[in-house]
Amino acid sequence: MTLTAFFNNAQSNRFLGSSMFFKILSRVTMGFVASLLSFSINAESTPDFSSLNPKAINITLPEKINWVANPSGSESAVLVGDPSKPGLYVVLNKWNAHHNSKPHSHPNDRFITVISGTWWVGTGEDYNLDNLKPVPAGSFVTHYGKEVHYDGAKDGDVILQIVGIGPATSSPAIKN
């Protein structure tokens, strides 16, 4: 079974469908992504990976990650899967300073690791930036499916790693 097929069957597999799996996956990949981000700052030249077996490992350096700008003031980069389709996905999301989402929800749980910066989060249908709470780099957060939240960045950019089971849709909150 290929790794892709393995992950695409995640919802039917008790371990893969559990939040413990996503916590483990998120923490392991957080270290990997943080290493890549710090490497891009400290590296003087690109390392030579030619001696590594490409059947065993795939390395994407930070400058090769394909960031796409979103109208909301964020950027995203899909690392694994396709968030618009059923199955596992891993996405980097970068909130640019002074940008936030409006209250919304997602159909499925999402598991988020703050890679860098401070992420600001709030819950409920009342959009009030004074109620945002800071979540520092290194933190692990679960956004529960069908629960209303809003989030973003205040004075500095923030990079998040989001892991979930697609499709990853977003529904605006409707005040009662």
Residue 15 has pLDDT above 60, yes or no: no
Say if 51 falls within a structural domain. Answer: no
Query: Contact, 105 vs 146, CB < 8 A?
Result: yes
- Overall average pLDDT of the 94-109 stretch: 96
Contact 141, 112 (CB under 8 A): yes
Question: For residues 104 and 147, what is the distance between their CA atoms, to the nearest angstrom?
Answer: 8
Provide DSSP, 103-128: SEE-SS-EEEEEEES-EEEEESSS--
Per-residue pLDDT reduced to its tens digit, 23-57: 556 555 555 555 555 545 455 688 999 999 999 99
Q: Is residue 160 part of a domain?
A: yes
Q: What's the half-sphere exposure (Cβ side, CA atoms, 13 Å) at 94?
A: 14
Is 57 inside a domain boundary?
no
Indicate whether 54 belongs to any domain: no
Residue 58 belongs to a domain: no
pLDDT tops 50 at residue 103:
yes
Q: Read off the pLDDT of residues 113-170 as tens digits, 9 standing for 90 and up.
A: 999 999 999 999 999 999 999 999 999 999 999 999 999 999 999 999 999 999 999 9
| 10 occurs within a structural domain | yes
How far is residue 27's CA from residue 166's CA, in Å, rounded to a whole number? 20
Task: Read off the CATH number of the domain in which 91 is found.
Answer: 2.60.120.10
Averaged confidence pLDDT in the chain: 84
Residue 114 lies in a domain: yes
Report how far residue 136's alpha carbon sits from residue 111's, in angstroms, rounded to the nearest whole number: 15
- Distance set, CA 105 to CA 121, 131, 136, 150, 171 (Å): 13, 18, 22, 8, 5
Which of 29-38, 68-77, 87-96, 98-107 is predicted least confidently?
A: 29-38
Q: β-strand 74-80 against 87-95: which pairing, if any?
A: antiparallel
Domains of the chain: total:
1
Cβ neighbours for 9, distance < 8 A, ≥ 6 positions apart: 16
Cα gap 63→156, rounded to integer Å: 21
Q: State what percent of residues in the chain have pLDDT above 70.
A: 74
122-133 confidence digits (pLDDT tens): 999 999 999 999
Residue span of the structural domain in which 11 resides: 3-44+65-172
SS3 58: coil
Assess whether pLDDT exceeds 50 at residue 3: no
Q: Look at residue 55 and tell me if it is in a domain.
A: no
Comparing C-alpha atoms, which of 108, 109, 135, 112 is closest to residue 122? 135
